[in-house]
Structure formats: structure tokens, C-alpha cells
């Protein structure tokens, strides 16, 4: 809860280096100091490590996944525009209140990623959204990146910003109840993109973010998203996703990120939306698993996919197909934004009288994706009331 009593720890366990020219008693003192600091360090480290591991595992508990409700002010405006609702602090609060108070969603939703505004907002009942979720056994999380900006030197590409001041922000988010975080790097596919430069800087930033999160006792969700908006083939998506994951795990290792205390949030390996040749469900599942098995160490407890603009039912079918091909070295679940929310948003339309129908629509997607996380989804579940 209140983590202010915790002392920040860096990713590696710092030890003293004894200089070779030391007198014998100095060397002894160095050894004693090193021994005690290692004991204290290890104790603190053990406390953090266990909390990180427990939270990461809880987020991918059987049949559960994450709701990404962390749309930035710009993105939520687009979503609300689509139902002719003006985006104001009050309408954003009302929409998130609808989602988070849906009874029964906690059977399928382990955690919710919030935008900063929402983390510090109250629900209709007067408690903070973070408290409301935690009281239902749902873990509150926070998006901490500041968005993807044009990459200097390769301005067609993007790099995600937000590292400056992140250590201080993480302490505030932890005090407000956030126990996990998200940072999204964006990689676009074009003829001569992504460049190695773009992949490298995004991987580096993801690892810096992840190390800072773990230092603060917050589980990082590491999200390198290869976009699926282009006309590229599924093979090209696999090649790019492979390069990206290779770079991301190399950086995580260099920066001492504890793999057991993080989650990966990747795209699925899929043909671009404009590609005339769309792959079938089995092909997407096979290509995605092949790519992940080559690049994601089994120490990572879970992989929670983004939906990235897939239709809600297809996102569910793909996850289900991968789990049916299991067991896999990691848990495979979801961290969907649009694929969990689209039907609820449409059903709500900004009207109080539609809240119950919108909550039913959200609950249905949560239930069906929960089933897919177990490999127990079937298309008939879409017909059920």
C-alpha cells in the first residue's frame, strides 16, 4: 500500500570494489561492510522481488487478463467522438465508472491500466477508482509513457518519451495504489522501416522504464507494438516482430530487469489491415507462437497481447487458438483496449439508461476473453445473452 517506507533499489545489487592497494585491516573492513550491505540489500531486494513476482503472476491468473482503459486524453476523445459524446473530465469519469463498476467482471479481469487522470479520480461512490478496483480484487495499473514522438534523425518513425522525472512519478503512482505500469513503443512497417536505429532506441527506452518500475516495486508491462495498419504480409510482420523482440530482450538483460517480475505485451503476428491476403486464425496463432518461442525467455511469467485494431471476436479467437496449442512456457492472456471496450462504448452512447446494456456488453467480452485465456472459448459463446 503506502510504499514510502521503502528505500529505492537499483536493478543490480551494488557491492563495493576492494582496491588492490588496501592495507590488510582496510580489506577486512571492506569485507565486513560488503557482507552487511549485501545482507541488507538482499533482504530489501527479496521483499521487492517477491512482490513483483506475485503481482506479475496475479495479472495472468488462470482465465484472467487485463483491461487497458488507459487511453490518453487525445485517444479517449476519438473514442467518445465516435459515439457523439463530448470528451470532458466528467464524461471520461462517467465512462470509466461504467466499466469499473460492472459486476462480475472481476472473475475475468485481473488488472486495469489507468490513465493518470483516472488514477487520481473518484468513482461515483466517492472512493478513488484505484480503491474501488482493489476492493474487488482487481489490480490498479498506470500508463506512464508520454506518447510516441517523431524520432530525430528518422522523423517518419517514432520514439516513445517520458523517462525524465519517471522515478518521481512512479513513487507518486505507487502511493496512489498502482502496482503495475505500461509503456508502449510503436514500430511501423514500411518498405525501408523499421530501421535498426528506431528499434534500438525504443528497446532502450522500454528497458530503462522497466528497470525504474522494478526499483519502485511496480511490475512493468513492456509493450513493443508492431502496428498492423499497413499492407504488409504476415511473413513481414513476423520478421519485424522477431527483430523487435530480439532487441527488447537484449536491452532488458543489459539493464538488469528481472524477467520474473515483468510481463510482455506484444502484437500478434498478423497481416497488415490493408493486405489483400489475410491469414486465418490457425496461421496467426502458429506464426505468433513461433516468433515468441524464439525470442521470449521462459522466465517471463506472462504474455498479454494488445488487440491493435483487430475485431473483438477475432482477437478472442486468436488468443484461444494459441492456448489450445499449449501448454506454453508462459501464460498467454490479453491486455485489450478496443477489443474489450468497443461493444460497450457503442451500447452506452453516453446515455444513463444504456449503462446496464453497456455493462453487459463489456462483461460478455471479458467472459469470452477469460475463456480464451484458458483455451476454452467457442464461437457459440458469442450468441449467448
CB of 141 to ligand 13P, least distance (A): 10
> Is residue 79 within the footprint of ligand 13P (CB under 6 A)?
no
> Is residue 362 within the footprint of ligand 13P (CB under 6 A)?
no
- Residues 338, 364, 365, 367: which binds ligand 13P (CB under 6 A)? 338
244-273: which residues touch ligand 13P (CB under 6 A)? none
Strands (E) across the chain are located at 65-69, 109-114, 139-143, 148-151, 154-160, 180-187, 219-226, 263-264, 302-305, 331-336
- The answer to whether 174 and 218 have CB atoms below 8 angstroms apart is yes
CB of 358 to ligand 13P, least distance (A): 17
Of 380, 17, 8, nearest in space to 218 by CA: 8
- Residues 160, 307, 359, 368: which binds ligand 13P (CB under 6 A)? 307
Length reported for the chain? 385
Closest residue to ligand 13P, based on beta-carbon distance: 337
Of 61, 30, 45, 8, nearest in space to 334 by CA: 61
Provide the Cα torsion 376, 367, 228, 290; round to 10°. Answer: -30
Beta strands at 109-114 and 65-69: parallel, antiparallel or unpaired: parallel
Q: Which region, judged by CB under 6 A, interacts with ligand 13P, from 245-253, 286-294, 306-314, 350-358?
A: 306-314
- Residues 141, 308, 343, 370: which binds ligand 13P (CB under 6 A)? 308
> Is residue 342 within the footprint of ligand 13P (CB under 6 A)?
no
- Residues 52, 68, 109, 268: which binds ligand 13P (CB under 6 A)? 68
CB of 331 to ligand 13P, least distance (A): 18
- The answer to whether 330 and 379 have CB atoms below 8 angstroms apart is no
CB of 337 to ligand 13P, least distance (A): 3
Can you tell me the distance from the alpha carbon of 16 to that of 279, in angstroms, rounded to the nearest whole number? Answer: 55
> Is residue 183 within the footprint of ligand 13P (CB under 6 A)?
no
Q: Which region, judged by CB under 6 A, interacts with ligand 13P, from 39-47, 132-140, 146-154, 300-308?
A: 300-308
> Is residue 158 within the footprint of ligand 13P (CB under 6 A)?
no
Can you tell me the distance from the alpha carbon of 301 to that of 56, in angstroms, rounded to the nearest whole number? Answer: 7
Q: Find cell 470532458 and name the residue.
A: 88
Of 77, 6, 63, nearest in space to 370 by CA: 63
> Is residue 337 within the footprint of ligand 13P (CB under 6 A)?
yes
Can you tell me the distance from the alpha carbon of 219 to that of 364, in angstroms, rounded to the nearest whole number? Answer: 28
- Residues 245, 306, 332, 358: which binds ligand 13P (CB under 6 A)? 306
Give the catalytic positions in this structure: 223, 265
| Residue 104, C-alpha cell as written in the block | 462480475
- Residues 64, 96, 158, 184: which binds ligand 13P (CB under 6 A)? 184
Residues that bind ligand 13P (CB under 6 A): 68, 184, 223, 306-308, 336-339
Amino acid at each position: 500500500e503506502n510504499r514510502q517506507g521503502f528505500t529505492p533499489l537499483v536493478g543490480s545489487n551494488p557491492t563495493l570494489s576492494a582496491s588492490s592497494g588496501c592495507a590488510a585491516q582496510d580489506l577486512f573492513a571492506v569485507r565486513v561492510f560488503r557482507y552487511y550491505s549485501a545482507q541488507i540489500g538482499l533482504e530489501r531486494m527479496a521483499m521487492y522481488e517477491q512482490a513483483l513476482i506475485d503481482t506479475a503472476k496475479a495479472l495472468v491468473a488462470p482465465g484472467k487478463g487485463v483491461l487497458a482503459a488507459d487511453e490518453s486524453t487525445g485517444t479517449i476523445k476519438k473514442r467518445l467522438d465516435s459515439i457523439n459524446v463530448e470528451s470532458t473530465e466528467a464524461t471520461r469519469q462517467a465512462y470509466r465508472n461504467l466499466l469499473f463498476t460492472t459486476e462480475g467482471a472481476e472473475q475475468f479481469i485481473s488488472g486495469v491500466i489507468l490513465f493518470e487522470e483516472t488514477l487520481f479520480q473518484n468513482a461515483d461512490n466517492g472512493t478513488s477508482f484505484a480503491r474501488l478496483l482493489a476492493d474487488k480484487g482487481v489490480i490498479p495499473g498506470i500508463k506512464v509513457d508520454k506518447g510516441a514522438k517523431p524520432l530525430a534523425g528518422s522523423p517518419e518513425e517514432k520514439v516513445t518519451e517520458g523517462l525524465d522525472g519517471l522515478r518521481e512519478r512512479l513513487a507518486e503512482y505507487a502511493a496512489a495504489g498502482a502496482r503495475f505500469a505500461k509503456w508502449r513503443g510503436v514500430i511501423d512497417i514500411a518498405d525501408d522501416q523499421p530501421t535498426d536505429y528506431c528499434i534500438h532506441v525504443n528497446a532502450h527506452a522500454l528497458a530503462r522504464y522497466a528497470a525504474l518500475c522494478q526499483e519502485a516495486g511496480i511490475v512493468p508491462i513492456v509493450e513493443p507494438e508492431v502496428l498492423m495498419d499497413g499492407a504488409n504480409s504476415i511473413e513481414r510482420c513476423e520478421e519485424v516482430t522477431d527483430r523487435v523482440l530480439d532487441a527488447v530482450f537484449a536491452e532488458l538483460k543489459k539493464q538488469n530487469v528481472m524477467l520474473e517480475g515483468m510481463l510482455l505485451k506484444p502484437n500478434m503476428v498478423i497481416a497488415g489491415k490493408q493486405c489483400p491476403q489475410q491469414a486465418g486464425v490457425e496461421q496467426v496463432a502458429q506464426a505468433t507462437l513461433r516468433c515468441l518461442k524464439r525470442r521470449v525467455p521462459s522466465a517471463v511469467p506472462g504474455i498479454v497481447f494488445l488487440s491493435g485494431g483487430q475485431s473483438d471476436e477475432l482477437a478472442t479467437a486468436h488468443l484461444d487458438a494459441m492456448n489450445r496449442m499449449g501448454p506454453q512456457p508462459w501464460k498467454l492472456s490479453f491486455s485489450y483496449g478496443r477489443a474489450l471496450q468497443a461493444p460497450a462504448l457503442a451500447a452506452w452512447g453516453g446515455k444513463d439508461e444504456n449503462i446496464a446494456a453497456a455493462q453487459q456488453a463489456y462483461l460478455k467480452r471479458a467472459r469470452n476473453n477469460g475463456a480464451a485465456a484458458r483455451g476454452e472459448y467457442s464461437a457459440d459463446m458469442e450468441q449467448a445473452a
